A and B are shown apart, each in its own frame.
Chain A
Amino acid sequence: DAGVTQSPTHLIKTRGQQVTLRCSPKSGHDTVSWYQQALGQGPQFIFQYYEEEERQRGNFPDRFSGHQFPNYSSELNVNALLLGDSALYLCASSLDRDRGLSGANVLTFGAGSRLTVL
Chain B
Amino acid sequence: AQSVTQLGSHVSVSEGALVLLRCNYSSSVPPYLFWYVQYPNQGLQLLLKYTSAATLVKGINGFEAEFKKSETSFHLTKPSAHMSDAAEYFCAVSGRWGKFQFGAGTQVVVTP
Q: Which of A12-20, A70-78, A106-114 contacts B (4 or more CB under 8 A)?
A: A106-114
Q: Complex Cα distance A109/B43, Å?
A: 6
Q: Which residue of A lies closest to B45 (CB)?
A: A109
Within 51-82 of A, Cβ neighbours of B (below 8 Å) are at 55-56, 58
Binds A, one of B13-21, B61-69, B70-78, B97-105: B97-105
Q: Which residues on B are within 8 Å of A, measured CB to CB?
A: 32, 34, 36, 41-46, 49, 51-52, 90, 92, 94, 96-105
| CB-defined contacts of B96 to chain A, threshold 8 Å | 99, 103
Other-chain residue from A42, A56, A111 in contact with B97 (beta carbon distance below 8 A):
A56
Contact B46 A106 (CB under 8 A): yes
In the complex, which residue of chain B has the Cβ closest to the Cβ of A105?
Answer: B98
A44 to B3, CA, bound (A): 12
**Inter-chain contacts of B90 with A (CB < 8 A):** 42-43
In the assembly, what is the distance between CA of A48 and CA of B96, in Å? 13
Which chain A positions have C-beta within 8 A of B97?
A: 48, 55-56, 99
Q: Once bound together, how far apart are the Cα atoms of A58 and B97, in whole Å? A: 13
Inter-chain CA distance A40–B10, complex, in Å, is 11
Query: A58 CA to B45 CA in the complex, in Å?
Result: 22
Which size class do A's interface residues fall under? 20 to 34
Contact B43 A45 (CB under 8 A): no
A104 within 8 A of B: yes
Which of the residues B36, B45, B101 comes within 8 Å of A45, measured between beta carbons?
Answer: B101
Residues of chain B lying within 8 A (CB to CB) of residue A92? 43-44, 100
Q: Does A24 contact B (CB under 8 A)?
A: no
- The answer to whether A112 touches B43 (Cβ under 8 A) is yes
Give min CB distance, A66 to chain B, whole Å.
14
State which of A41, A58, A104 has its C-beta within 8 Å of the C-beta of B51: A104
C-alpha gap A42/B89 in the complex (Å) = 9
Q: Contact between B100 and A45 (Cβ–Cβ < 8 Å)? A: yes
> B82: shortest Cβ distance to chain A, in Å?
23
B105–A106 contact, CB under 8 A?
Answer: no
Q: Are A42 and B104 in contact (CB under 8 A)?
A: yes
